[in-house]
Amino acid sequence: MNVKKLFDVSNKVIILTGAGGLLGTQYAEGLCQAGANIVLADLDFVRCKKQADRLRTKYNIDILPIKLDVTDKESITNLVKETIKRFSRIDVLINNAAFQEGQKERKVEFEEFTLESWNSVISVNMTGVFLCCQEVGKIMKKQKHGIILNIGSIYGLVAADQRIYGKSGLNSSIAYASTKASLINFTRYLASHWRNTGIRVNILSLGGVENNQNHEFIKRYSDKTMLGRMAKKEEYVGAVLFLTSDASSYMTGANVIIDGGWTAW
């Protein structure tokens, strides 16, 4: 056994969607530091490009920034085509891109929640993952290897406790919760479907990250966790490294929960 090798992702080709966001930026930094070749894919190309330039210089590795809309099949086909052109294979896909409505829509009661809001969340958080898995999965199946990591939330496991939100506008919507819950069984289905192909599929369900929310909200949220605080934005990188490396070689169809103990009591 060689522990360093188990966690080794150097030279792996990793597609990361939502790479320009709060957590995507952290995963990109961590995986680049570990020597992976990353495709930074996001709706916001400018942010991805800036990040790619910075990481390329810092870690001296090959990084490909790509504009991606996960709701658009053609955009995903292009992502796959460009990745293969540049790196000839895809070892890992991290489905991290997600959409939450703006604060105004999030305050809306269920009875008034619009079909438009519902559809916009479903199309990114669920249909987007479906499309990315389908297109990238075709390549992984041919290669006879691949790892897919879906990013979920504790709100896919338990209901959002409406009491902690008040008028903060940070409420988590029914659409968001529905997509994150559905991703768990989507993950299991695919893991089962691809059981003999060399493709592993897992999901990481995360708790809330502290990110300049108002003090009262942070306090109320923290009280719900066993560790008494929200996550720091870098605290999920270790799990991503585990789930995208051979260290998790006996894992498929699993839901890994990291939430400071929120769902455990």
Ligand X SMILES: NC(=O)c1ccc[n+]([C@@H]2O[C@H](COP(=O)([O-])OP(=O)(O)OC[C@H]3O[C@@H](n4cnc5c(N)ncnc54)[C@H](O)[C@@H]3O)[C@@H](O)[C@H]2O)c1
Residues of this chain that bind ligand X (CB under 6 A): 17-18, 20-24, 42-44, 68-71, 96-99, 124, 128, 151, 153, 206, 208-209
Q: How far is the CB of 88 from ligand X (least distance, A)?
A: 24
Q: Cα separation of 186 and 219, whole Å? A: 33
Map tokens 């993952």 to a residue: 129
Catalytic annotation present for 176: yes
Select 30 or 143, whichever has its Cβ closest to ligand X.
Answer: 30
* Helix (H) / strand (E) containing 16: strand 13-17
Helix, strand or coil, per DSSP, at residue 88 = coil
Select 68 or 122, whichever has its Cβ closest to ligand X.
Answer: 68
Cβ–Cβ under 8 Å, residues 61 and 37: yes
Cβ–Cβ under 8 Å, residues 131 and 73: yes
The sign of the CA dihedral 234, 75, 126, 189 is negative
CA geometry: angle at 78 spanning 244 and 126, to 5°? Answer: 60
Select 108 or 209, whichever has its Cβ closest to ligand X.
Answer: 209
Helix, strand or coil, per DSSP, at residue 64 = strand
Q: How far is the CB of 265 from ligand X (least distance, A)?
A: 19
Select 44 or 62, whichever has its Cβ closest to ligand X.
Answer: 44
Cβ–Cβ under 8 Å, residues 159 and 149: no
* Catalytic choice (176, 189, 236, 250): 176
Map tokens 């919760």 to a residue: 177
Select 111 or 165, whichever has its Cβ closest to ligand X.
Answer: 165
Return the structure tokens found at 80: 């796959």
Q: How far is the CB of 100 from ligand X (least distance, A)?
A: 7
> How many residues in total does the chain contain?
265
Which residue of this chain has its Cβ atom nearest to ligand X in the complex?
A: 21
Q: How far is the CB of 7 from ligand X (least distance, A)?
A: 22
Q: How far is the CB of 189 from ligand X (least distance, A)?
A: 19
The residues pairing with 148 across neighbouring beta strands, listed in sequence order, are 93, 201
Instruction: Show which residues are catalytic.
Output: 176
